[in-house]
Amino acid sequence: EFTPRVFSGIQPSGDLHLGNYLGALKRFADAQDQGIQSIYCMVDLHAITVPQKPEDLKRSTRELCAGFIASGIDPQKSILINQSQVPEHAQLAWIFNCVARMGWMGRMTQWKDKAGKNAEAASLGLFAYPALMAADILVYHATHVPVGEDQKQHLELTRDIAAKFNHDYGVDFFPLTEPVIEGAATRVMSLRDGSKKMSKSDPSDASRINLSDDADTIAKKIRKAKTDPDALPSEAKGLEARPEARNLVNIYAALSDQSVEQVLSEVGGQQFGTFKPLLAELAVTKMSPITSEMTRLMADPAEIDRILAHGAAQAREITAPILRKTYEIVGM
């Protein structure tokens, strides 16, 4: 009975990289013309659960907005927002803080990973993070959330919160949101270690291709990417025990919108000395228009701020009535 609606958020912290592009931004852009209303959010309230320099946060938020648009998200078709500009997210999060149980939060693996052994020193916000994420999603009655494997547990918690709210208040108000899990092919691994995902938190800059890298840097990083001495196989089976080789082929396939099988039918038998320059050329061809569009957009921060203000106004047409109704259900 809930209208299909997609919500997804990305933290504005640090540079965007090829993993963010292939695993999130490009997928969002590809899905845009399916006619499902979609909200894409820069989650700055989540970013400050760990310390952020104010000027960096502001810049990263604009850069992320530029990254969404440069990747093909059209602010006329999708709603692009900065979380803190839509106050209903934080307002609903408080209600959910009172619905969620301490024990549920304590079981979140991301909390355990991020707080580490020194949980006493972690922010209360880091602990409550999943309740805010539930509010981000449910304040839109979003039915679908594209998430990576790492966010699956938080989405289950979102469903638990929705179900407990509905049960406690005897209503059928919040939907049980479905995850849309990314395929294995869009999991981009580190260029230096095929067992780790490409991530902005990796201290080695050579492990990732940043959306801000120029053509020479991209080519150099691919040339230096870790591989093995064997030629490329002609079938996917041949990549099974070769994570670094598989990663480069996956990247090629994702960038060229082909299957791994299609790519291998072309490049099977080639050595990396031949394949890497092809991959570098493809990556530069696909990434440089995005990089230059981001640079162009970043030259006019006021325009980005206007886009985000417009998005916030559109978003609040959805969130304000849902929050009002929630308050009413709670007795406020």
Which residues are annotated as part of the binding site for L-tryptophan? 136
Q: Look at residue 146 and give its three-state secondary structure.
A: strand
Cα-based distances in Å from 25 to 42, 159, 305: 12, 24, 20
**Is residue 198 involved in binding ligand ADP (CB under 6 A)?**
yes
How far is Cα 140 from Cα 242, in angstroms, rounded to an integer? 42
110: its two tokens? 């991301």
How far is Cα 233 from Cα 254, in angstroms, rounded to an integer? 18
**Is residue 188 involved in binding ligand ADP (CB under 6 A)?**
yes
Of residues 26, 197, 221, 246, which one binds ligand ADP by CB under 6 A? 197
Q: Look at residue 205 and give its three-state secondary structure.
A: helix
Of 148 and 243, nearer to ligand ADP (C-beta) is: 148
Of 192 and 197, nearer to ligand ADP (C-beta) is: 197
CB of 149 to ligand ADP, least distance (A): 8
Of 140 and 165, nearer to ligand ADP (C-beta) is: 140
Of residues 11, 60, 61, 210, which one binds ligand ADP by CB under 6 A? 11
List the helix and strand counts (H, then E) for the chain: 14, 5
CB of 198 to ligand ADP, least distance (A): 4
237: its two tokens? 């089976």
Of residues 20, 38, 60, 319, which one binds ligand ADP by CB under 6 A? 20
Name the residue among 206, 156, 198 with its Cα closest to residue 24. 198
**Is residue 153 involved in binding ligand ADP (CB under 6 A)?**
no
Of 56 and 303, nearer to ligand ADP (C-beta) is: 56
Sign of CA dihedral 323, 313, 76, 291: negative
CB of 23 to ligand ADP, least distance (A): 2
- Name the one residue in this structure whose structure tokens are 């580490």: 116
As beta bridge partners, residue 8 has 40
CB of 18 to ligand ADP, least distance (A): 8
**Is residue 23 involved in binding ligand ADP (CB under 6 A)?**
yes
**Is residue 187 involved in binding ligand ADP (CB under 6 A)?**
yes
Q: Which parts of this chain interact with ligand ADP (CB under 6 A)? A: 10-11, 19-20, 22-24, 148, 186-188, 197-201
